[in-house]
Structure 1
């Protein structure tokens, strides 16, 4: 054993967004990250991140709950064990805590980052290597205002930053949402792909009506139109329409993927390292989808740079990623806690060079944006 885990810290970080971001379940004006810092006995440090959307409005874990789980259960279970054996560490966490996938994902990323730095290789090398160094990235049009969304899309196209756009719908009536999407599709024409995310907001009956109209409007992909608890209804909808349907909230792990594949309930799987429980767990889910002939898409929890780049390393290792990615999180934030933010150009995210994640923490910004900064300022304490 060359190095042991000596310290793990989970830090709540509140960052402002560039604009209001509307989803079916909430509207965001800021994003809360849980930044994980892991220190090893050989002086090596690793970074991880867990981020969810809108507190508990999206799923079962909140930023505050993630920090509590790490501080109280996950971190104590890892202190003193071999820092170089990531699989053994994650197996231990599986025995210590059920679920808590977001928290486990952040810890796994920190372990992988530290070990890759120790070996002097990019994190993706530890996953078998990259089959691509760039990832297509869409942009979410989520203001809810049709004219504003069209203007924003035109700007992105002109700058060469994005040529695929996702619309968050489900807050208004089906007809209002379809009219909004249709107007944007007409304005952009064949210059851009248009996808929609309903975030589980429709019933099966509403979805049947809405999907038919969206298909006629030329929408390219429809994400999670109905609640995740009803995969058989999703299968009925998938059999009825030509437009591809994507499962997101309905597919967390490989077991979900197997059931959806058995039911033929989705044409596309949205992969996310956080909801899977880590990069390796995401790769298991991707393998099931790939084997079943289901296309893959790299999803996001609107993470900051650490979580986004962690996901990018995983997605760059996948044999197929037919629908690109949604790794736009850092672009939605006014600021971040790394010294150099990710590079976006030519409609793609470029994987950083360098060992580990390829990122360096900005200590001053971390101190400024961390939620407990007043306590830190008073005590003069820096954990790492």
Structure 2
């Protein structure tokens, strides 16, 4: 089965409220829907969420690199020739969301062709994951109210708290308010998006010990090599590398250099094929993984849970699977549903999704 065309469709869906964090702010999902067409009529889909403040990609750059470089290189290749596909993709530097969307769309086609869910092709460990919800910057009382609402509505009891503001007391007060509101049964962990210095992060970690956080992610820049290493050595919880470890090589360096003790895996950044390599590296080196969220819509969430549920190591912790709840609408004909704090994988061939053509027409930006 041969690739005949790769289609890119930019779209924009507003958020109900902006998601704010130390490195940026998102008010709408300005993503690119990627559709890979084949000579047997099967079409694979995936979502590319550009994050210019983290990876430098934009809607225009995703469309440009796929249409001008990737599509001409991949057209005519066999869908199952995965190593050939990736060899050609990696001739081009960067562009992680664009590459990942192409990869996941090809896995979607493979699942459809074999009448198997992608999660079964990947590993098939379990049929669902526990869900973690990400809380963006706001006043302590409003963040606590949101967490309480999410817990009561969806049964979610794990929360990732965005930190990295100055003064650090703003975020310390948030974490204390969340613990007071949610009680001891809730799991809390923090993500600084590189907003603090190493010394500020060390102060914050000591102050958060009574709160009982379980992970600390990217509190300070990894480029601050000595400071980051000094901070990670004294951390009493796993220290997660996310945007500082975006390739298998960066993951290896982060773990060996002492810049992290755990890794965030994001299918929007490493697709399914590269995410496998990152996960297996972490298992071999004894590092925990967390299934992260690139502020995904429902299609991206389906991809994340398909990968995370496929492996014991990836499903051990709650995955960041709920931030599509902040979007005002979505493109899938069958919405993603969170119940009792978990999200089930779809027991359908491929990714098991269909795009609502009317909604795509409403939100697309190229017409």
Q: Do they superpose with TM above 0.5? A: yes
For 1:27 and 1:358, locate their aligned partners in 2 and report how far apart those are by CA, in whole Å: 31
1:43 CA drift (Å) = 0.8
Q: Give CA deviations for 1:9-41 in whole Å, capped at 9, x if unaligned.
A: 111110111212111122222111111011111
Conserved 8 A contact 1:222-1:245: yes
Corresponding residue number in structure 2 for 1:288: 281
Aligned to 1:92: 88
Mapped partners of 2:125, 2:200: distance in 1: 40
2:100 to 105, 124, 147: 105
Pair 1:52-2:47 in alignment: no
In the alignment, is the contact (CA less than 8 A) between 1:215 and 1:243 conserved in 2? no
Out of 292, 302, 306, which is 1:299 matched to? 292
Kept after mapping to 1: 8 A contact 2:23/2:194: no
CA distance in 2, matches of 1:330, 1:323: 19
Aligned mates of 2:145, 2:299 — CA distance in 1: 30
Question: In 2, distance between residues paired with 1:240 and 1:211?
Answer: 9
Question: 235, 240, 245: which one pairs with 2:239?
Answer: 245
SS at 2:259 equivalent: coil
Give 2:362's aligned residue. Answer: 368
Contact preservation (8 Å) 2:222, 2:259: no
Q: Please give the TM-score of this superposition, normalised by the length of structure 2.
A: 0.95
Rounded to whole Å, the distance in 2 between the matches of 1:27 and 1:101 is: 20
Q: How far apart are the structure 2 equivalents of 1:110 and 1:227?
A: 33
Counterparts of 1:142-157 in structure 2, within 5 Å, are 142-157=136-151
Deviation at 1:143, TM superposition (A): 4.7
The alpha carbon displacement at 1:161 in A equals 3.0
CA distance in 1, matches of 2:267, 2:261: 20
- TM-score relative to the length of structure 1: 0.91
What's the offset of the Cα at 1:288?
A: 1.3
1:43 equivalent in alignment to 2:41: yes
Q: Show the counterpart of 1:379.
A: none
CA displacement, residues 196-249 of structure 1 (integer Å, 9 cap, x when unaligned): 111001111111111211223322221110113234432321221313221111
Task: Find the counterpart in structure 2 of residue 80 from structure 1.
Answer: 76
**Unaligned segments of structure 2, at least 5 residues:** none
For structure 1, the residue ranges without an aligned partner over 5 or more in a row are 374-384
Partner Cα distance (1:38, 1:350) in 2: 25
**Worse-matched range after superposition: 68-77 or 313-322:** 313-322
Alignment of 1:1-384 (within 5 A): 3-53=1-51, 56-95=52-91, 97-127=92-122, 129-276=123-270, 278-321=271-314, 322-373=316-367
After TM superposition, the runs of 4+ consecutive aligned structure 1 residues lying more than 6 A away are none
Deviations for 1:68-96, whole angstroms, at most 9, x for unmatched residues? 1111111111122223323322222223x
